[in-house]
Amino acid sequence: MRDKGNRGGLIKGVPVAVLVSALIHGAVILLAGGLIVFSVYQKAEKKFEPPPPVDRPKMELKKPKVKVSKRVRPRASTRITSKNLQGMAEVHLPEMSGMTEGLGSGIGGFELMPDPADMSLFGGKNSIAIGNDFEGTFYSLEMNRRGGFEGIGVDDMNRVIERFVESGWNTNVLAPYYRSLQKLYTTYIMIPPIPSEHGPAQFGIELSEQVSPAFWVIHNKGKIANKEGGSFRFRGSGDNFLIVRVNKKIVLACGFARFFANEAGMRMAERWAPTDEASGKFLMGHGFATVGDWFDLEPGVAVEMEVLSGDYYGGWFKAMLVAEKKGVYYPKNEEGMPILPVFRTAEIPEKIKNQMKYLLTPNEVDLDSDLMFNVY
Amino acid sequence: MTDQSKRRSFCQLFAAVVFLCGGLFAEDVRLWRSRQGERFEGRFVRVLLGKVMLENDSGEKYYIPVKDLSEHDKKHLSSIFVPKLNIRFSDSSRSKFRSKNALADDIIRIVDGTATVEAKDKIPSETLRMEVYMIGEEVATDDYKLLEKGAMPLKLNEENDFTCELKLETQSRKYMEYNYQLRGCLYLGSVVIILDRNDQVVDFRSGIGWIKEEQLDPLRQLDVDDFFDSSLKPRPVPRPKFSTSRVGVQ
């Protein structure tokens, strides 16, 4: 029997549980208290305080002391140009195996596609085959350089042409006369008989009662080359005249008899006369064709070429030039005249070919030959 | 039924379904708005008496006066509406100024042609294009030549009074060749063709009796200066005859 009055003794079990519970509670309280302390204690955010204003001493603006002359003329720009084209032609580009012939196969020369609407038998307003085209300049010899009318006759015009040829084709001889602003660029010399008035009109001269040039010349200047090289000669027909110079030497001069006669001061015949028997034998246009001198071209080497054509009195005009390579057989037409390739430095646009065909009798010239005098 | 024929039938059925669906949804169902802000959902059917007919998916039809459409929808309408047109062509010729030393037997006349297209409905439209062909007849042969051609988009609106004009100029020439052969090309007439965006002929007006609708396609293939015969087949360029009769004449 237990003694209910004895309470001062150790009671086993109960105090241990209380102690453990107290420890656990104490630990929990400490942990919770710590969390509260951490969450309550936060660093106060630093507020930006602008620095005190800095005293900046005011500086006086001074005008730059640079002397500027009131009249400053720009200096002429220095242009880097090639001195001669022969060197250019000799530059060898590395072969590019990845490049194909593309759409231009069979067409020689470096060509851009011209707008056919802007082109005529005289050429186009813009360069159509860079490096291969002939620049054509139009001069009206019955107009002064300001555009005013000044009459000129056949004799005087012949004398001007003679002086031009005598001076080594120096265009200063033509300087006193009206020169059209519009130049035309061509890669072919083949103008079959057409009304003479087309010449000035194509070079942008609007015909009127005051301006109606009938005495005029076109000076075409460019360069030619041939890939294989060889000996070549031209055959041509001009109304009123056509003179061709290769490498500063006349190789062909043709036109109507009066032009070459020793009358009226025009002594073209003394400077150049055809030697080939075929000259004056076959018709080209409405006149007999003249056969030119042979000239040599080194393979791929470019040489200068100039063409002077012109007309006086109006009526018909023509400047027809075909080329022949020595040693090549050319088929002949019904009259026995060899059908020679048209002189060209690039492929002739189809539209222009058709214009030529309309004016050329069948088998008069060859418009589709491979012979080409392109530099590039 | 073999596997192959089953597969073929399935393909045909699938193609038919795709085709029908394509046809069904060919017309664009869109939300149309009036100037007052009212909305109509439907596809454009046509314009009738100045009203746009719209039809929704359930077949209901709405008629909205064109003038009441919002600006945005008016613009949209002009991009799909194919108007009925009045096509006219007029030409006149004048002599060309000639050099004082021009050849006496070389007669050139400048021909000015004007094609005028007018929208009958007076409803803005930008869906059509006009092409004009001026045709000549070669003097020396039986050939014809395309003298000039031009084209322009037809932007018919209130600003231009629903009328568009295309002016062209060409030359009619008859001359004596140096061999005494008469040559040149004389202006014969013109053809105006109206095309839609799919390059299909919508309307045309031929000033040359023998050029009919079925010949418009070959006509459109020609370039200026091309020669052709009366069936619109290309012909080679006519050449002058060889002759020594005028040798040396300047």
* Higher per-residue confidence, B238 vs B246: B238
- In the numeric block, the tokens 């001669």 are attached to A84
Contact: B237, A354; criterion CB under 8 Å:
yes
**Shortest Cα distance, chain A CAs vs residue B101, angstroms:** 5
What lies within 8 Å, CB to CB, of A28 at 6+ separation is none
Across chain A, the runs of DSSP E, i.e. the strands, are 119-120, 123-124, 134-144, 177-179, 184-186, 190-195, 216-224, 230-239, 241-246, 249-255, 283-284, 287-288, 290-291, 295-297, 303-311, 316-325
With 70 as the cut, is the pLDDT of residue A186 above it?
A: yes
Percent of chain A predicted with pLDDT > 90: 45
- C-alpha A327/C-alpha A230 separation (Å) is 9
Quote the pLDDT of residue A102: 35
Contact: A212, B99; criterion CB under 8 Å:
yes
**B34-87 confidence digits (pLDDT tens):** 898 888 899 999 888 889 999 998 999 989 999 999 999 999 999 899 999 999
Average pLDDT, chain B: 87
| Closest residue by Cα to residue A285 from A314, A260, A323, A316 | A316
* Higher per-residue confidence, B22 vs B164: B164
What band does A91 get if pLDDT is binned at 50, 70 and 90?
A: very low
What band does A66 get if pLDDT is binned at 50, 70 and 90?
A: very low
Considering only CB atoms, A197 lies closest to which of B102, B177, B225, namely: B102
Contact: A314, B239; criterion CB under 8 Å:
no
* The dihedral sign for the CA sequence B131, B134, B135, B138: negative
Q: What is the pTM of this model?
A: 0.73
What band does A258 get if pLDDT is binned at 50, 70 and 90?
A: low
Quote the pLDDT of residue B104: 83
Is residue B245 within 8 angstroms of chain A, CB to CB? no
Chain A interface with B: residues with Cβ < 8 Å: 117, 193, 195-197, 200, 207-208, 212-214, 239-240, 256-257, 283, 285-288, 313-316, 334-335, 351, 354-355, 357-362, 364
Per-window interface: B 220-239 vs A, CB < 8 A: 223-225, 237-239
CB A184 within 8 A of CB A118: no
Lowest mean pLDDT among A215-229, B98-112, B228-242: B98-112
Contacts of A202 in chain B (CB under 8 A): none
Quote the pLDDT of residue B110: 96
Quote the pLDDT of residue B28: 74
**A138-177 confidence digits (pLDDT tens):** 999 999 998 888 888 888 888 899 899 989 999 999 999 9
Greatest mean pLDDT among A79-88, A101-110, A294-303 lies in A294-303
